[in-house]
Structure formats: structure tokens, C-alpha cells
Amino acid sequence: ELVVQFQVLNQSCQCLAWKPRPVGVWPCPGESQHVVAGYSDGTVRVFSVSRTEMELKMHPHAAALTAITYSTDGEMILSGGKDGIVAVSSPRTGMTIRVLADHKGSPITVLQCIRKQYHDFGVEGGELWLATSSDRRVSVWASDWLQDKCELLDWLSFPAPAGPEGLDSLPPSLAAFCPWEHGVLVYVGFALQKEALLYSLRKKQVLRKISLPAFATSLSLSPAAPFMAIGFGDRLLRLQPCPSGDPQDYAGHDDAVHLCRFAPSGRRLLTASHNAVLVWELTGA
């Protein structure tokens, strides 16, 4: 059932994210849920789902947006563009408070924020966030936006063979913080080998490598159990236990599986291909 629909004429929506609720806070009756979306004209729009209206429009980018997320407290919006620029904007004021050009020149493919205390890594800030770009680079940051602090924690560059194809035709570079192993992130992308890499932010090294049947086109990590969902270009979906175990492969898509997303409970998995969205129930996970 279609509950609500927002339309922006003459622009394509490239990415979106739900606003997180504060930890330990139950939803109040009539409380507005918000979705932020990034568009091909470089604009960011915030929509109220309950009021079915656009509440805010910002223009922090000169290029099309390719990734967007909220900070863990919902007080900031992080957006990345096709030109590699990352902007941090306030949905309260509509102002862009910081622009980061470290990935300039390569489209941002992933932005993710997680809660993390500063003493875990010896830097100040209440959250960690990462940015991944198409040129196989990942930057990890510690931040406290209310104190205007943002510090680079780690910078990863993954090698790859030279290919005749252009960058747009290569598998995407994807990274995510590991929910079940703190201080670890998972990376998949075009590389020397078809594999998923588990990298330790504390040890500054790759801890484990998991072989894959092909280069991944999508990635999601379960928040409830040590499982990865990985999509591939040959219509295959793999559920990979970590750190080891036999993977489970599933068919059902008619095209490349370009999106995987676990539900917050970890009990369901949403996957998408060219013209199909599938919802899987993970009874054994």
C-alpha cells in the first residue's frame, strides 16, 4: 500500500535517508517522521512524512548528489556529490556548516554515521562517520558537530588493476561499520581479488578476507547478527556469516542486485534490482 508520495518536478532523487530517533526515546503521538533526499541539481530536501509536506530545501552542492545520511542524533545532514565534495548542513537553520574536499574528483558512494565515544580511539567526538568514493578510497572521521569538531581518524586506499573500462562501469566502492565487531569496517569494491575485506581501525590493518564469487554491487551488515548481505551483478544475493561459515546464495532477481538493506531488527532484508523490490524474512538468522 502506497502511504505517501512526494514529487519534485524535473529532478531525479539520487539518495535518501530517514531521520533517526534519539536513543531511548519512544515515538510520541503525532510526532513527525522525516526523510531527507538528495537530487540531481545539487539540492537537499527534507520532507515530513506525517504532514506530507516539504519542510526545507537547501543547495549545498554544485553537482548531483550521490549519497546522504543524518548524523546519529539527527541534528546534521551529511551529503556527498558526484564531484566528491561532502557537505555538512543543519536542518534547523538550513546552513551548511562544513565542506570537505578530501574526496574531490570522485563520486561519493557511501556516507555512514555511528555513535562512538572519543576515548575508543583517543580523539574527541561522540560519533564516527565514513565517506567512500568511487576511486576506492575510504575516509573515517570523528566528529562533534555542536562543538564544530571534525577530525580525520583514518584514510584507506585500496589497490586495483588497471582496466580499459571507465570508472562508471566498474563495481561500486562500498564500506560499512561492523555492528557486531566494534572498531572494524567492511569494504567491497573493484580490486585485485574478488573479496570482502574486514579492516581494524585500531590495528590499522586488514584482519580478514572473505572470498566472493564476483565483485559486489551492494552491501548491508545485519545489526542483530554477524551476517553480511551482498548483491552481485549476475542476479545473485548472498547471505555471508562472519567471521566464517558457509554462505547461502539466493536467486529471485531479474537484474543486478544494486541495493541491500537490513531492517533495524535484522529479521528482514530488502533488496532491489532494476524493476523489482524483494523483502526477505530471515527466520534462521
**pLDDT grade, residue 117 (50/70/90)?**
low
Q: What is the CA radius of gyration of the chain?
A: 19
One DSSP character per residue, 209-268 reads EEE-SS-EEEEEE-SSSSEEEEEETTS-EEEEESSS---EEE---SS---EEEE-TTSSE
Tell me the average pLDDT across 67-87: 97
Q: 26 or 133: which carries more pLDDT confidence?
A: 133
Give which of 190, 196, 273 is closest to 240, Cα–Cα.
196
What confidence score (pLDDT) does residue 150 get? 93
Report the C-alpha gap between 40 and 59 in whole angstroms: 11
Report the C-alpha gap between 87 and 79 in whole angstroms: 5
Report the C-alpha gap between 138 and 176 in whole angstroms: 10
- Residue 65, beta-bridge partner list: 81
Report the C-alpha gap between 231 and 238 in whole angstroms: 6
Classify 169 as helix, strand or coil. helix
Report the C-alpha gap between 76 and 90 in whole angstroms: 5
Give which of 199, 226, 196 is closest to 214, Cα–Cα.
196
Helices (H), the chain: none
What confidence score (pLDDT) does residue 226 get? 93
Question: pLDDT tens for residues 2-58?
Answer: 889 999 999 999 999 999 986 655 655 556 699 999 999 999 999 999 899 999 999
Which cell numbers hold the place of 264?
533495524
Max distance between CA atoms of the chain, in angstroms, equals 56
Cβ–Cβ < 8 Å for 76, 88: yes
What confidence score (pLDDT) does residue 162 get? 76
What confidence score (pLDDT) does residue 160 get? 86
Averaged confidence pLDDT in the chain: 91
What confidence score (pLDDT) does residue 54 get? 95
Please tell me the least confidently modeled range out of 103-112, 119-128, 140-149, 260-269.
119-128
What confidence score (pLDDT) does residue 48 get? 94
Residue 231 has pLDDT above 80, yes or no: yes
Question: pLDDT tens for residues 159-211?
Answer: 988 765 544 578 999 999 999 998 999 999 999 899 999 999 999 999 999 99
Residue 285 has pLDDT above 60, yes or no: no
What confidence score (pLDDT) does residue 23 get? 62
Peptide bond just before 243 cis, omega within 30 deg? yes
**pLDDT grade, residue 280 (50/70/90)?**
very high
Tell me the average pLDDT across 108-127: 82
What confidence score (pLDDT) does residue 63 get? 97
What confidence score (pLDDT) does residue 167 get? 46
Give which of 198, 191, 152 is closest to 175, Cα–Cα.
198
Burial 4-22 (b: 16+ CB within 10 A, else e): eeeebeeeeebbbbebbee
Report the C-alpha gap between 239 and 247 in whole angstroms: 6
